[in-house]
């Protein structure tokens, strides 16, 4: 090995798996460059823009002298933190102290801060499987151990108190991370199931982290915040999904008081603050709820198109389509390899979906995830293409 190469060898902790959906996106982009029309059901991001109120606030901030766009306080612009706290009163009837709101670079930034503030290297963190891949990859990069707990149809694919305690008995857990609505499954926990899991975790000394990024996008029943069950839970949310602001990179945390100062110190050192323009826009996004409810109504129509259309194509087994904008389907009647299935569906029918292996290293080869965050016309066209393609296979 040359000396230069040895000096720059990547660390073992950097050896995290790629996020497969990104590879599907690249393959779809190559087809589009070659002139093909691809329907994008692989990406977990809204096609709609940020609320007009957010865009107007950003334009106004840019139109001024620019002096307002310096660093902000590490925990976030105070008026944004107050507005986020007020959102809990409006949406859930929960009083939140603005001093416990931490503004982050998307919920992704919140995971890093929460894990660093709560965990030591080697700590074990329970995750349900299937789950959003970066949870386990960030934990691994930080030297912690993700503990994958399988879920099934009998529990609506939610983690149960029994399964959590069984993993804790094997070797103690430090924390558990749960999302409802979840990605990739689109399933949700009932308020009772969530409260029971939070209570079980805390009684056993396991910290509860709740990823509530898909709140607001619920169709089966309203999502409940873990804060209702416990003020010791770390609650993470984002402007990316409901508010259609993925690229603005703003999220937040409601943190137990004892963690706020450590998180502030970490954030001061890691990022200083979240981009100011994005924080200004995010605060104004709360005034754009009527527009976002119309976007949500579009997802609900897309959901109906898939729930009716996919069984007519032969894809009859999928998880309860409760929330977010995902449908997780079992395609094992057609293939033992969902990766190859997704590749063929893209190349032959021009529909991009994400193979389940991204979310579940064990059973993911039976599943693909459909995202229905695009237009209604795209959904109708996708069902038509999938139907014709599967017929050709049979
Ligand atoms: C479950 C879940 N959590 C967190 C994120 C990260 O989102 P962001 O960092 O944009 O807030 C995503 C993105 O797809 C997600 O699906």
Q: pLDDT over 70 for what percent of the chain?
A: 98
How high is the pLDDT of residue 108? 97
- Compute, in angstroms, the gap from residue 381 CA to the centroid of ligand 1: 27
How high is the pLDDT of residue 394? 59
Q: Is the pLDDT of residue 4 over 80?
A: no
How high is the pLDDT of residue 1? 58
Q: Which atom of ligand 1 is nearest to the CA of 324?
A: 16
- Compute, in angstroms, the gap from residue 65 CA to the centroid of ligand 1: 33
Longest Cα pair distance anywhere in the chain, in angstroms? Answer: 64
Read off φ and ψ for residue 360, nearest 5 degrees: -150, 100
How do beta strands 351-352 and 39-40 pair?
parallel
Q: 117-150: per-residue pLDDT in tens? A: 999 999 999 999 999 999 999 999 999 999 999 9
Cβ(183) – ligand 1 distance below 6 Å? yes
Q: Is the pLDDT of residue 393 over 90?
A: no
How high is the pLDDT of residue 24? 84
Cβ(251) – ligand 1 distance below 6 Å? yes
Cβ(237) – ligand 1 distance below 6 Å? no
**Residue carrying structure tokens 């754009």:** 288
How do beta strands 124-129 and 145-150 pair?
parallel
Q: 203-240: per-residue pLDDT in tens? A: 999 999 999 999 999 998 999 999 999 999 999 999 99
- Compute, in angstroms, the gap from residue 363 CA to the centroid of ligand 1: 22
Cβ(135) – ligand 1 distance below 6 Å? no
Q: Is the pLDDT of residue 267 over 70?
A: yes
- Compute, in angstroms, the gap from residue 324 CA to the centroid of ligand 1: 11
- Compute, in angstroms, the gap from residue 169 CA to the centroid of ligand 1: 30
Q: Is the CB of residue 269 less than 8 Å from the CB of residue 74? A: no
Tell me if the pTM is above 0.85: yes
Question: End-to-end CA distance of the chain, in Å?
Answer: 52
- Compute, in angstroms, the gap from residue 193 CA to the centroid of ligand 1: 23
Q: Which residues contact 380 (CB under 8 A, 6 or more apart)?
A: 305, 309
Mean pLDDT score of the chain, rounded to an integer?
Answer: 94
Q: Is the pLDDT of residue 72 over 80?
A: yes
> What mean pLDDT do residues 100-123 have?
98
Q: Which atom of ligand 1 is nearest to the CA of 211?
A: 3
Q: Is the pLDDT of residue 390 over 90?
A: yes
- Compute, in angstroms, the gap from residue 211 CA to the centroid of ligand 1: 9
Closest C-alpha residue for ligand 1 atom 7: 107
Considering only CA atoms, which of 184, 216, 239 is closest in space to residue 353?
Answer: 184
> What mean pLDDT do residues 369-375 have?
96
Question: How many whole angstroms separate alpha carbon 285 and alpha carbon 282?
Answer: 5
> What mean pLDDT do residues 2-15 have?
82
Q: 153-205: per-residue pLDDT in tens? A: 888 889 999 999 999 999 999 999 999 999 999 999 999 999 999 999 999 99
Cβ(181) – ligand 1 distance below 6 Å? no
Q: Is the pLDDT of residue 349 over 80?
A: yes
Strands of the 251-254 sheet, one edge to the other: 101-104, 251-254, 234-238, 207-211, 175-179, 124-129, 145-150
Q: Is the pLDDT of residue 366 over 80?
A: yes
Question: How many whole angstroms separate alpha carbon 208 and alpha carbon 210?
Answer: 6
pLDDT confidence bin for 65, thresholds 50/70/90: low
pLDDT confidence bin for 5, thresholds 50/70/90: confident
Question: How many whole angstroms separate alpha carbon 114 and alpha carbon 266?
Answer: 10
- Compute, in angstroms, the gap from residue 72 CA to the centroid of ligand 1: 23
Higher pLDDT among residues 394 and 170, named by residue: 170
Q: What does the block give as tokens for 75?
A: 């925990």
Q: Is the pLDDT of residue 37 over 90?
A: yes
How high is the pLDDT of residue 6? 78
Cβ(253) – ligand 1 distance below 6 Å? no
pLDDT confidence bin for 25, thresholds 50/70/90: confident
């Amino acid at each position: 090995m040359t000396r230069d190469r040895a000096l720059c060898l990547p660390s073992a902790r950097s050896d995290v798996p790629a996020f497969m959906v990104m590879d599907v996106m690249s393959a779809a982009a190559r087809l589009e460059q070659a002139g093909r029309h691809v329907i994008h059901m692989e990406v977990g991001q809204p096609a709609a823009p940020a609320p007009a109120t957010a865009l107007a606030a950003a334009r106004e901030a840019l139109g001024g002298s620019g002096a307002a766009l310096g660093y902000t306080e590490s925990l976030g612009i105070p008026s944004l933190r107050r507005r986020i706290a007020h959102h809990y009163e409006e949406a859930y009837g929960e009083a939140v102290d603005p001093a416990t709101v931490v503004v982050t670079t998307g919920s992704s930034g919140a995971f890093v801060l929460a894990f660093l503030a709560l965990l030591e290297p080697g700590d074990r963190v329970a995750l349900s499987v299937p789950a959003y891949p970066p949870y386990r990859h960030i934990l691994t990069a930080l030297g912690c151990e993700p503990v994958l707990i399988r879920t099934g149809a009998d529990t609506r694919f939610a983690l149960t108190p029994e399964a959590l305690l069984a993993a804790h008995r094997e070797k103690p857990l430090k924390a558990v991370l749960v999302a409802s609505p979840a990605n990739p499954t689109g399933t949700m926990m009932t308020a009772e199931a969530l409260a029971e899991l939070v209570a079980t975790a805390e009684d056993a000394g396991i910290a509860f982290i709740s990823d509530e990024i898909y709140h607001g996008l619920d169709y089966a029943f309203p999502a409940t915040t873990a804060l209702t069950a416990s003020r010791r839970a770390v609650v993470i949310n984002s402007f990316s999904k409901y508010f259609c602001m993925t690229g603005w990179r703003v999220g937040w945390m409601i943190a137990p008081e004892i963690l706020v100062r450590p998180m502030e110190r970490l954030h001061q050192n890691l990022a200083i603050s979240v981009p100011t323009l994005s924080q200004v826009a995010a605060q104004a996004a709360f005034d754009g709820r009527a527009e976002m409810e119309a976007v949500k109504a579009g997802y609900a129509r897309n959901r109906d198109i898939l729930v009716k259309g996919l069984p007519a194509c032969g894809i009859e087994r999928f998880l309860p389509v409760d929330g977010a904008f995902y449908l997780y389907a079992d395609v094992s009647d057609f293939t033992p390899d969902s990766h190859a299935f997704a590749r063929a569906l893209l190349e032959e029918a021009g529909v991009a979906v994400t193979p389940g292996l991204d979310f579940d290293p064990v059973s993911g080869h039976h599943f693909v995830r459909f995202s229905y965050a695009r237009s209604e016309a795209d959904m109708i066209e996708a069902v038509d293409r999938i139907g014709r393609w599967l017929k050709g296979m049979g």
